[in-house]
A = this chain, B = another copy of it.
Amino acid sequence: MPGRNGRGRIGGRKWQGMVRGCGYRLTIPRRAVMEVLSSTDEHLSAEEVYHRVHDQYPAVGLTTIYRTLELLFGLGLVSRLDFGDGRARYELSAGSPKGHHHHLICTKCRKVIDYTEFIKDELEFLERAEKGLAEKYDFEIRDHVIQFRGLCKDCKDRNNK
């Protein structure tokens, strides 16, 4: 039964407590957006989220989708990604069925590969760097972005032909 989202229930459903706990109400649009993000491993734009939510709840408007994504992003429940195509993209951050991962972006065809390799290696590096930077610059580091950009197999080949 695919689509049931790997490790089960929507990110653990802890998000609801998170939302209520911060004094926000639990509304249809908020549930719907979380539902959509939980049941995909794609990196959806606001409009794409809107379309999917709209299928279930035609009354929900695009404006609300933007507001909701912003809220969830602010709470750290959702990651906002920039792949350089002029629109923000979103994915569940913690509890994502994908786990900790980063992105490999083809600058030609805009394909995005999520990779989880080298993460061990990376965590070591990140830990050292974060600690060092936090100390030296008195910064409270909350997040990091690591992306590799280049040409995917197809675009690379197409270039050389």
Contacts and interface: CB of A to CB of B under 8 A. Distances in A.
Interface of A: 80, 82, 84, 104, 106-107, 113, 115, 117-118, 121-122, 124-125, 128-130, 132-134, 136-153, 156
Given A125-B122, A140-B151, A133 B146 contact: no
Given A80-B84, A130-B148, A139-B156, 15 more contacts: A82-B84, A106-B139, A113-B139, A115-B136, A115-B137, A117-B133, A117-B136, A121-B129, A122-B125, A122-B129, A138-B152, A139-B148, A139-B153, A140-B151, A142-B151
Contacts of A153: 137-139
A105 to B, nearest CB: 9
29 contacts: A104-B137, A104-B139, A104-B141, A107-B142, A113-B137, A115-B136, A118-B128, A118-B129, A118-B132, A118-B133, A121-B128, A121-B129, A122-B125, A124-B125, A134-B150, A137-B152, A137-B153, A139-B148, A139-B150, A139-B151, A139-B156, A140-B151, A142-B149, A143-B148, A143-B149, A144-B149, A145-B145, A145-B147, A145-B149
